[in-house]
Structure 1
Amino acid sequence: MRGEASLSDVRTFTKTTRLQGEVRAPGELRAAAQALWLAAIADGESRFEHVPPEAAATLDILEGLGVSIKRNGDGHGIVTVQGNGLGGLEPSSQTIDLDVPQEAALPALAILSQQAFVSRVRIAPESREAAMQLLALLARTGAAGVEEAEFLLRLDGTESPGGVRHEESDLPGAVKLGLLTAGLFAEVPTVVRESPSSKDRVDALLKIRGVAVEGSRQADPTVRTMTLTPGAAPEALDMDIPGDVSRAMPFVVAGLSVPRSEVTVRRVMLRPENRVFVDIVRQIGAELEIADNDDGSVDLVLKASGRMKATRVAGKRAQSLLDHVALLAVLATQTEGEFIIRDVESLRQGEFDFIEHLADLLRAIEAKVGEYSYGLVIDGGRPLKGARIKTRRHPGLTQAFSVAGLLATGDMDIEDTACVDPVFPGFFDQLDALRSPRKKEKTT
């Protein structure tokens, strides 16, 4: 049973006049899991920074496969992996749960399929179709894999994997990466084809690790051919994992809402499937610049302009932002006009009615909000007032009202703030560092 928040778990936020500086978000799980699996079969020691908390499961799996890993518990996500080389993994006594994005799950599946031992692997439902497609193609290399039960695969492995020329040119990026990764274990080259217009460029992930992959359109200008020549394990490398843009959104809202703020979110991955919040922010007139980095990540450069227009978020856009509805609602309080958030009824199910509780909290800070069966309508542009916030140990609510506390008159006392630590270690430290020295939050 949950009792009252302890005094040590309550943070008090007060209105601030400016935010300035740079922040980082925890690493993206997709990028981290890819890097960790490739480090496991590399020659030498790889060191990573900003490995996200969710990657702990991947680290446990690799340790179960005989990989030596050192974890630094200082909150900066520093992990060191001693690679075992291509043939150095050991059989695991446990079912291997690849509950990571399929762009990371499929190269891991490819690595396991090329081992000389049997593995049992559980995959996420959204990865099943691509995983079965990959296994069907890898059967050409001599690797055998079957689905023993729903989402549970048995990989029989192979002692002499072969290289294959794959003629298909319309494969998903995750499948292409899986095929090239499997090619590392072959004795002859592996060829994978793709459309010249493809933006996947999965070969880049291997090239930076010294793998010989050559891209060419010479034989057929309508097809880009990637040829991987085996011969050595990937090289070990040190890598700063690019950030998860979804974790950076509280800083985005804060940087655009607190007057005179200038905030830069460094090195996040902005992909088609996770840029909806960023697109909405730009749509409402916020000043957000996207600066490309050489490694495929971007910097988000934010300036508070003071004029943001309300909009309507519904349908697929709303569904993709279910984890950020509270933050979106706080942003809505800073816009001009009626901001509509609908098609989020699913948030009423679960441990508590999230929409009802969010509406109550918004009213507590004197936002004008209408609650409907489908969601919320928020009339923005009104001054906010501090209140005591019961977050119900929900990280999204906690972060959203921490941002609201920077905008409200009076103290914003937020309970159960420790719930943020498992998903974003150091969040409050970074938020505090952006503030004026005289306006920092207090922990009681």
Structure 2
Amino acid sequence: MAARVPGSKSLTNRLLLLAAAADGTSTVRAPLVSEDTVAFRQALDVCGIPVQAGPGDTFWKVTGTGRGPTGSARPWCADAGTAARFLPPFAATGHGTFLFDGSSQLRARPQRPLIEALRALGADLEPGPGNGLPLLLRARGVEGGDLSVDSSLSSQYLSGLLMAAPLMRRGLRIRTGDLVSRPYIDMTLALMRRFGADVEESADGTIRVAPRPYDATDIVVEPDASSASYVFAAAAVTGGTVTVPGLGTESLQGDLRFVDVLRRTGADVRVGPTATTVTGNGPLRGGFTVDMGEISDTFMTLAAIAPLADAPITITGVAHARLKESDRVAAMAENLRACGIETAEGPDRLTIHPGTPRPARIACHRDHRIAMSFSVLGLAVPGTVSLDDPDCVAKTFPEFHDEIRRLFQDSP
């Protein structure tokens, strides 16, 4: 059965930023309409960048001026980490006073590497407690030049700086050092080039971005590969078959590599040019270790179904996942143990042993990915899982529960 997976959050918010920075009107087709993307869109509107929605939000038209915003504004980022990391560098290339703020959850997430980078570029900033939000920015343009960025905590800092770089007077040459979630940087660079950016990357990892305005562009958003991981995993544990149209070999999203992990558990996986299909193929196989550092938004999907495997599964490389909407490593361990599953937790890893889950109420920590991951386990073992906050899925996949029901519970 074909799954209706909404558009990619990562693509939608990057495209909104690039369209805002472009000279002219861009059309973003099939955008994700969710709490995070609506917060991003509204923050742009507050900054004087109008975003006009087409009928049924089937497309968004963004009118940019080819430069950073001007004036005074108080952008509200809600829970959206991408808004808090992408918008300040863009605003710094403009002129005016901008006060960025967000929810208590977002205020607790780290901003230090971004603040240090913007200060190194000459930006006038007053961060909140712990170098986080609220963040007051007095913008007067950015000269640009050479910069080193700590990207060991999140790739979003680097993506935000890269996307703002063409609007800097001298462009930017960035040395990245340790980098997590490399596929998201590849996505950012590919999209920048689609909007006409002059970008070069050297063998030592230095990225050079020349100063020049972005070109307005018409572009379609792919389905979200991170969100697709839940329907793929559900097929694997129920013996069903699910196809996600629009996600194939040309996808810009590294998280599609989650299906390679499912293949290791024994699922049948077929990735074609324009669609990906997963079929469950009996009990899950375990007994392996997998580094999911580059696809860490999907590690929880694997962790939630790992108890159903025939041997332990160890997930490594996910230390930075402790700094997301929740401490995701600790939260997964906590909830798996509540289900009676033996789980061993390390700073950057999680080992899950086979077991029969017992009924438990899952603590979602206002984290959409925890809710969706454990929903898949509950689908495989009915009556096992209840969520303390089922509505938190609205952050990225508002129709998640209805879609899972349509695919796996209402189907003949």
Question: Fold match, TM over 0.5?
Answer: yes
Decide whether the 8 Å contact of 1:256 with 1:305 is kept in 2: yes
Partner residue of 1:110? Answer: 89
Q: Which residue type is aligned with residue 308 of structure 1?
A: L
Q: Deviations over 1:244-303 (max 9, x none)?
A: 42x2233212322444736346427653xx67964542332322345577xxxxx54313
For residues 194 and 259 of structure 2, the distance between their equivalents in structure 1, rounded to whole angstroms, comes to 29
1:252 corresponds to? 232
Please name the residue that 2:192 is paired with: 206
Matching residue within 49, 60, 72 for 2:30: 49
How many pairs were matched up? 368
Alpha-carbon shift at residue 113 of structure 1 (Å) = 0.6
Which of the two has higher C-alpha Rg?
A: 1
Q: TM-score, normalised by structure 1?
A: 0.63
Structure 1, gaps ≥5 residues long: 1-20, 294-298, 360-369, 406-410
Question: In the superposition, relative to structure 1, how do residues 96 and 81 fare at CA in structure 2: closer, same or farther (>3 Å)?
Answer: same
Q: Is the counterpart of residue 82 in structure 1 residue 53 in structure 2?
A: no
Conservation of the 8 A alpha-carbon contact between 2:68 and 2:167: no
Letter in 2 for 1:301: T
The letter for the 2-side match of 1:55 is T
Q: How does 1:167-206 map to 2 (within 5 A)?
A: 174=156, 177-187=159-169, 189-192=170-173, 200-201=185-186, 202-206=188-192
C-alpha displacement at 1:376, in angstroms?
7.2
Instruction: Assess, with a 3 A threshold, how the Cα gap between structure 1 residues 248 and 340 changes in structure 2: closer, same or farther.
Output: same
Deviations 1:16-38 (A, max 9, x none): xxxxx332433333322211122
Cα contact 1:133–1:175 (8 A) shared by 2? no
Task: Answer whether contact 2:338 2:360 (CA < 8 A) is retained.
Answer: no
Tell me if 1:305 matches 2:288: no
1:328 shift after superposition: 1.1
Change in CA separation of 1:23 and 1:207 when aligned onto 2, cut-off 3 Å: same
Task: Output one character per residue of 1:299-325: Cα deviation in whole Å (capped at 9) or x when no partner.
Answer: 5431333353234789999x9778547
Is structure 2 residue 118 aligned with structure 1 residue 135?
A: yes
Deviation of 1:51 (Å): 1.1
Q: How does 1:21-420 map to 2 (within 5 A)?
A: 21-42=1-22, 43-53=24-34, 54-71=36-53, 78-87=58-67, 89-94=69-74, 96-97=76-77, 99-101=79-81, 105-122=84-101, 126-139=109-122, 143-147=123-127, 149-150=129-130, 151-152=132-133, 153-158=135-140, 161-162=142-143, 164-166=144-146, 174=156, 177-187=159-169, 189-192=170-173, 200-201=185-186, 202-211=188-197, 213-215=198-200, 226-230=208-212, 232-245=213-226, 247-259=227-239, 261=241, 263-264=243-244, 266-267=246-247, 270-271=253-254, 278=259, 280-290=261-271, 300-306=276-282, 308-311=284-287, 323-324=300-301, 327-328=304-305, 332-333=307-308, 335=309, 337-338=310-311, 346-347=330-331, 354-355=335-336, 358-359=339-340, 377-379=353-355, 395-404=372-381, 419=391
The alpha-carbon distance between structure 1 residues 120 and 306, as it changes in their structure 2 partners (threshold 3 A), is same
In structure 2, the gaps of 5 or more residues are: 317-327, 346-350, 365-370
Higher relative contact order (CA 8 A, sep 6+): 1
Whole-Å separation in 1 of the counterparts to 2:399 and 2:297: 26
* Residues in 2 aligned to 1:278 and 1:308: alpha-carbon distance in whole angstroms: 14
AA partner of residue 27 (structure 1): G
Alignment partners' CA distance in 2, 1:182 and 1:376: 41
Larger helix share, 1 or 2: 2
Q: Secondary structure at the match of 2:95?
A: coil
* Distance of 2:119 and 2:387 partners within structure 1: 51
In the aligned structure 1, how far is the partner of 2:161 from the partner of 2:21?
Answer: 16
